[in-house]
Amino acid sequence: MTGFPRYAIYFAAGSNSALSRFGAALLGYDAYTGDEVPFPREALQIAADWRDVSADPRKYGFHATLKAPMALASGNTETELVAACAAFAGKTRPIPVIRPVVDVISGFIAVIPAEPVGALQELAADCVRDFDCFRAELTAEDRARRRPEKLSERQREYLDRWGYPYVMEEFRFHMTLTGRLDAERRGPILQMLRARFAALRLDTLAIDRLALFKQDDAKVRFRIVGEWALARADLSASSPD
């Protein structure tokens, strides 16, 4: 299995944001502080086993993947990765803005964009490419854990090339709130999560930062060890697409 520590480059909404508090409460864990967070009363009312419902995403903290978890290749250091994150964030680029909604994706419930955003796909692809030099190669065991027999041919190619199958045009931005749910359970939970999300009045969400998450060993959760605002390109002289 891949060694530890593992690192991931994610989008997180900012420690003081309403969206981060929303996600931390539903997962019962704040990746900024490493603290447990009480579940909302509504979640426990709709699902008495909410701790189990949210167990899978709790391990990672509330986030959207840009570069999937990886061990560092031999010769690379955390200090160098931190410097690379700062350099990446410092390159000016159009800041993706999405219209966030709560919906089902591959059987679990997440905050996702209501429609595709090209700049977001480009940002994610840049993260995959630019940070791949830090990634240790997948072991045979890690590759098997991705169940390549269940993947499409293109996804298997991406798994072998980039260590993760859901990159480039296969990338789908999502901030996960639950594990996979049987169809009959999703309806009431989805309704509750949509109501809580609507209370945020979050009509748009700028994907304007990246965070470095670290997992020290397999028994602990990921925690944020660095965060950088993305440098915004000056588009004042440009006409909208």
> How do residues 167-222 score in pLDDT, each as one tens digit?
999 999 999 999 999 999 999 999 999 999 999 999 999 999 999 999 999 999 99
Segment 127-147 mean pLDDT: 95
Domain of residue 49, CATH code: 3.90.1140.10
CA distance 218 to 177: 21
Domain, as residue range, for 151: 6-229
* Residue 235 in this model has a pLDDT that exceeds 80: no
pLDDT category at 237 given cuts 50, 70, 90 is very low
For residue 3, the model assigns a pLDDT of: 87
CA distance 50 to 178: 9
199 in a structural domain:
yes
pLDDT above 90: percentage of residues in the chain: 94
238 in a structural domain:
no
* Residue 239 in this model has a pLDDT that exceeds 50: no
For residue 154, the model assigns a pLDDT of: 97
User: Are the beta carbons of 225 and 214 closer than 8 angstroms?
Assistant: yes
1 in a structural domain:
no
**Count of domains for the chain:** 1
97 three-class SS? strand
What dihedral angle (degrees, nearest 10) is formed by the CA atoms of 69, 4, 74, 31? Answer: 50
For residue 234, the model assigns a pLDDT of: 74
CA distance 37 to 20: 12
236 in a structural domain:
no
CA distance 114 to 98: 7
More confident residue, 235 or 122: 122
237 in a structural domain:
no
Number of continuous H segments (helices) and E segments (strands) in the chain: 9, 11
CA distance 129 to 87: 14
* Residue 61 in this model has a pLDDT that exceeds 60: yes
For residue 149, the model assigns a pLDDT of: 95
Segment 13-31 mean pLDDT: 98
pLDDT category at 97 given cuts 50, 70, 90 is very high
15-19, 44-48, 200-204, 237-241: range with lowest mean pLDDT: 237-241
* Residue 131 in this model has a pLDDT that exceeds 60: yes
Whether the pTM exceeds 0.85: the reply is yes
How far CA 127 is from CA of 67, 87, 171, in Å, comes to: 6, 12, 12
54 in a structural domain:
yes
Segment 127-133 mean pLDDT: 98
* Residue 233 in this model has a pLDDT that exceeds 70: yes
- What average pLDDT does the chain have? 95
Alpha helices in the chain (DSSP H): 18-27, 41-46, 50-53, 55-58, 78-90, 118-130, 140-145, 153-162, 183-198
205 in a structural domain:
yes
72 in a structural domain:
yes
